[in-house]
Structure 1
């Protein structure tokens, strides 16, 4: 029985989303809680995307297969009772067995937050800058991202990435009081890409790079040309989107889940 879980988390103390040896990750904690709640020896969740160490998520979709039909509200309630305070489960949706959180997603949106006023309550959720960068120049440079598709310059050297092409459909800075918020949306992102983009755009805002130089370093496809990555605490996986009417088409009723469970039990006799 497959379920989609909408998960949010504060990534401060985690080494990213994905399971890895000798490091605490969000996926590890969620999988362990699912095992405890449903008394299973092992559970394998699949996330809609990966987030790096210290990065947060307001919406990370996860799918999981459970051996029995369970009311969505029960899954949500039981998980939120034992999950730590920095992870929560929102919507829980029963879906068809072919639905896939990662492969079916058509876009991901990230937000990067900067605070221009020192605030102890934003230490874990925004990057503090003592001087305001030139937002107009950063927005002009950001529009370049919509015109290009090879982002080798903003990729990390290591990894199993087969190509570096991404289709970016939104890239814009906006001011919210004493904060600057950068929103970027694409069909896919390279590992560490958003923080490298933000760090390089900030160099444009600080006058270290011109808009023309920003475009040139992308077109030259040389990883050494990118500026340093912006700190992780300001980055959020903000939204993951699926095709129109996706959940209407994929959603399965609890009664259908029960019927499928009965068929499986009968076939195993």
Structure 2
């Protein structure tokens, strides 16, 4: 029987068996489409079944029915082995999913975080260069955001950030890449977009943010940089767009009612 077979196993044999069962359990999870967010319910159900079988095994052993006991032992062994493998797989899937999400997306806004900027921008530049097409980036900053945090608290600041991001997402294309650069700064990567088109996108976004239906006057500053006209490398494009964004911000401070008359493309 299985018990006599197991005691002859080497450690390597046991590891291989566990791996095989883990793979089978993983296939089973995919086939039944278990929602990984329901891992605790799955684990509890498996534990209940395993505990029931263990109690049954003890009861049969107490009754000294050795034949039935050996059958139940095999059943209990398999259940708990699959239980362990399944539990490990569920938690690994969950942990890896969370790690990948945190490494890729901003938790507050749900858009890409800064970790992706250089890789994504470099990739889009390579595509633009190969196709001999333009590419623009738009560097966006929320004006007076520090004052909002200081006066109203970080919770209010988070609401503003989320609202601004959701509004911007309504006015960009599916091919555009939206990244939270840090704090109240954002970058839009705009493939197949020259400076004139990028400025139209920026003006449209700026207008919608100013008209945002919240109890505060919110506005943005922005700067535009273009490949290949302004620069051909990621860092240079970001620096140029950042510099032009600060030009816009300084202009707004000097002329608060004339947001976009400064030339942000030169």
**Fold equivalence (TM over 0.5):** no
The structure with more strand, counted as a fraction of residues = 1
Greater relative contact order (Cα < 8 A, sep 6+)? 1
Give 1 or 2 for the bigger CA radius of gyration.
Answer: 2
If each structure's helix is expressed as a fraction of its own residues, which one has the higher value?
A: 2
TM-score, normalised with respect to structure 2: 0.26
